[in-house]
Amino acid sequence: MPAASRPRKTVIVTGGAGFLGSHLCDRLLGDGHHVLCVDNFYSGTKDNVLHLLDDHRFELLRHDVTVPLFVEGEEIYNLACPASPVHYQFDPVQTVKTNVHGAINVLGLARRIKARVLQASTSEVYGDPEVHPQVETYWGHVNPIGPRACYDEGKRCAETLFFDYHRQHNVRIKVARIFNTYGPRMQVNDGRVVSNFIVQALRNEPITLYGDGTQTRSFCFVTDLVEAFIRLMDTPDDLTGPVNLGNPVEHTVRELADKIVALTGSRSAIVHKPLPMNDPVRRRPDISQAKAVLGWEPKVGVDDGLKQTIAYFDELLKKGPAALEHR
């Protein structure tokens, strides 16, 4: 349904001041909705939504989803959780609480106000996969006691809670499994491969490549992912997911590093470091379901997306250290 003909709603976005959440807020406001952005600013930043504060249809609420939330709306997008290893491993117990207690509180809210609720899950539920490409019917290969488990297993438990609330309480759920996503408003020090490589290249610092660089990832530009969120939320209630959302074009990490060096004109050398424990060797989504039920596939090619992301970081770095404090 075209944006102009969709009913106007009040939409709650938890984690709305984060990288993905702020782009989603932009899109929802652009579609004419009222948006309540909920964030505790652990990994999100007010800078991401400063341009929205004068819009009378936008409201910003500082709140942690591990505490129950009492607000009103017709739709909820639950994006609240640090998504980069640097952030989610810093306080792993809090990461589990955000995923599990946060899901319980968001689902309780959705049940009370009879709202549709979309869970931003992750490709990390597949772990270091033994099935390639990853399909939604694959149950995954995850180390439940490793350093990444706070995020991987936290997200898996959140999915369990979503489907149990759906079966037991008829909560109207949508579950999206997000693969690597990049674009403007990523943080400088978030430890993700795209932002790491771009910042190092722009500074002409050594580019740190973990392992031999043959591990693969699939990179989806943020506006493509937001489009998929909107389409998934708009599907009939019987389509719960999970649905893979990502770019099916697979790149080695070494290819990505070489591409960023070329696009930035950097003098950076590439240095190798040991591969982190339980780091997935291959990652590529099967998006057959997203194509069939959402009519969606990514439109922004990796070169175009990287150019936009490089331009963002280049401008940010030129502003100096003060501009990077909350990034």
Options 88, 126, 151, 182, the catalytic residue: 151
Largest CA distance in the chain: 58
Distance, CA of 75 to CA of 110 (rounded, Å): 8
Specify whether 88 is catalytic: no
Cα end-to-end span (Å), the chain = 36
HEC assignment per residue over 260-318: HHHHHCCCCCEEEECCCCCCCCCCCECCHHHHHHHCCCCCCCHHHHHHHHHHHHHHHHH
Tokens of 259: 């591409």
Query: Smallest Cα–Cα separation from 34: which of 44, 42, 25, 43?
Result: 25
Q: Which residues contact 121 (CB under 8 A, 6 or more apart)?
A: 155, 158, 159, 175, 176, 177, 178, 242
With CA atoms as reference, report the closest residue to 162 among 217, 214, 105.
105
The torsion of the CA quartet 17, 22, 24, 25, rounded to 10 degrees, works out to 80
41: left (phi over 0), alpha (psi -120 to 50) or beta: left
**Residues taking part in catalysis:** 151
